[in-house]
């Protein structure tokens, strides 16, 4: 073992744990697996099971992106039951170094490594070099991050919880939806709509507005019905999802001055395919009054690469100090 190799890399979401192995500095990621978090009682058990099943010896270093705030040694996931101590996990796995960061910070650190086949452009616009970049992505929750240019050609990845900002309406229909969700949740964050469970929340709110009894649908049921066109309320739920995502993405672009572009990560948008209304997304992205012209030239992309956050986790070990 030398220079922190071999390395164990993890991308832990609210639903799935993704693991990979990197043998040395020039080696590609290998033995990538995706396993349900529910298959293991703890993060340690998931990591240990991966190492055992893949037949790898003890890694020297490990880097894990995880879908929750990382503010100290004790980590507790927002949308999943796992909780752990970073120092105890490092000791249990026998690591010389363990880096644990927010999963969207890891994803942000992968952006520079993505190629043309890893993204799909949504709408027009042209990136301005050496300008801030925004990143958000609906999955089990809503992740938000970005990359800021720093002196010496370096980039700094942001670590925050932008998925929990208060969601705003842009028309009466959206205002009625949010009013119903406020009665249910009190605070309606962007994540209450822009996530897997958010699709169900939108569907149920539409049923209530129209005096219909909602079905017991899962997020994948809403997605499938919208893609197939078999349920008009599911179709409208996805249109609302597209509009709200464009609104939040535009807010992020304004907040960061993200003239380098905004990336959409997470697992939901690629699954929606043509049901994701790109025109409505861009309309709401740009619909910011006096700053419409500012946003019209900012490009947006959907990330379609399989496991980019694992690449970001690997890069984080080299770019973030021990």
Query: Residue 2: which pLDDT band, with cuts at 50, 70 and 90?
Result: low
Query: What is the distance between the alpha carbons of residues 102 and 309, in angstroms, rounded to a whole number?
Result: 10
Q: Which CATH code is given to the segment(s) 7-109+307-319? A: 3.30.420.40
Q: Does the predicted TM-score (pTM) go above 0.75?
A: yes
- Residue range 166-177: mean pLDDT, rounded: 97
**pLDDT recorded at residue 57:** 84
**Cα dihedral across residues 81, 38, 63, 192: positive or negative:** negative
Kindly state the average pLDDT of the residues 229-257. 97
Q: Among 189, 194, 159, 165, which Cα is nearest to 65's?
A: 159
**What are the extents of the domains in the chain?**
7-109+307-319, 116-304
Distance CA 11, CA 2 (A): 23
pLDDT in tens, 38-53: 999 999 999 999 999 9
Residue 1 has pLDDT above 60, yes or no: no
Interatomic CA distance for residues 193 and 185, integer angstroms: 12
| Per-residue pLDDT, 77 | 95
Asked whether the beta carbons of 159 and 105 are under 8 A apart, the reply is yes
Q: Percent of the chain, pLDDT > 90?
A: 93
What's the CA gap between 27 and 34, in Å, rounded?
Answer: 20
> pLDDT class for 319, splitting at 50, 70, 90?
confident
Model pLDDT for residues 128-162, shown as the tens digit of each residue: 999 999 999 999 999 999 999 999 889 999 999 99
Closest alpha carbon to 244 in 150, 177, 152: 177
Sequential DSSP letters for 50-73: HHHHHT----SEEEEEESS---SS
Band (pLDDT 50/70/90 cuts) for residue 205 is very high
| Phi, psi angles (nearest 5°) of residue 87 | -65, -40
> Which tens digit of pLDDT belongs to each residue from 109-126?
999 999 999 999 999 999
Arithmetic mean of pLDDT, 18-27: 95
How far does Cα 244 stand from its chain's mean position? 16
Q: State pLDDT tens for residues 43-81.
A: 999 999 999 999 998 999 999 999 999 999 999 998 889
Phi, psi of 66 (to 5 degrees): -135, 145
Fold of 116-304: Hexokinase; domain 1 (3.40.367)
Residue with the two structure tokens 């009190």: 186
- pLDDT of 3 higher than 60: yes
Each residue's pLDDT tens digit, 244-293: 999 999 999 999 999 999 999 999 999 999 999 999 999 999 999 999 99
Q: Tell me the C-alpha distance between 260 and 137, whole Å.
A: 17
> Looking at the chain, how many residues does it have?
322
């Amino acid at each position: 073992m030398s220079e922190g190799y071999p390395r164990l890399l993890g991308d832990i979401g609210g639903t799935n744990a993704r693991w990979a192995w990197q043998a040395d500095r020039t080696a590609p990621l290998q033995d990538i697996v995706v396993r349900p978090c529910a298959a293991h009682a703890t993060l340690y058990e998931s990591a240990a099971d991966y190492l055992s099943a893949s037949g790898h010896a003890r890694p020297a270093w490990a880097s894990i992106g995880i879908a929750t705030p990382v503010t100290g040694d004790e980590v507790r996931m927002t949308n999943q039951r796992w909780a752990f101590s970073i120092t105890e996990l490092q000791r249990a796995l026998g690591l010389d170094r363990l880096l644990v960061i927010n999963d969207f910070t890891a994803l942000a650190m992968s952006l520079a490594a993505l190629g043309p086949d890893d993204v799909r452009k949504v709408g027009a616009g042209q990136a301005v070099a050496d300008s801030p970049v925004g990143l958000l992505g609906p999955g089990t929750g809503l992740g938000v991050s970005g990359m800021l240019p720093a002196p010496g050609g370096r980039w700094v990845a942001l670590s925050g919880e932008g998925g929990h900002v208060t969601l705003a309406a842009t028309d009466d229909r959206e205002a009625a939806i949010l009013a119903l969700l406020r009665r249910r949740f009190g605070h309606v964050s962007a994540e209450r709509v822009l996530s897997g469970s958010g699709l169900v929340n939108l569907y149920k709110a539409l049923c209530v507005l129209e005096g219909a009894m909602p079905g017991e649908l899962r997020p994948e049921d809403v997605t499938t019905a919208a893609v197939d066109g078999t349920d008009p309320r599911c179709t409208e739920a996805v249109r609302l999802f597209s509009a709200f995502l464009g609104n939040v993405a535009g807010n992020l672009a304004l907040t960061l001055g993200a003239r380098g572009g905004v990336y959409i990560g997470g697992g939901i948008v690629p699954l929606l395919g043509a049901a994701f209304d790109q025109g409505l997304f861009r309309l709401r992205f740009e619909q910011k009054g006096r700053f419409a012209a500012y946003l019209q030239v900012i490009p947006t992309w959907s990330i379609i690469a399989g496991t980019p956050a694992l690449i970001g986790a690997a890069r984080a070990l080299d770019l973030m100090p021990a």
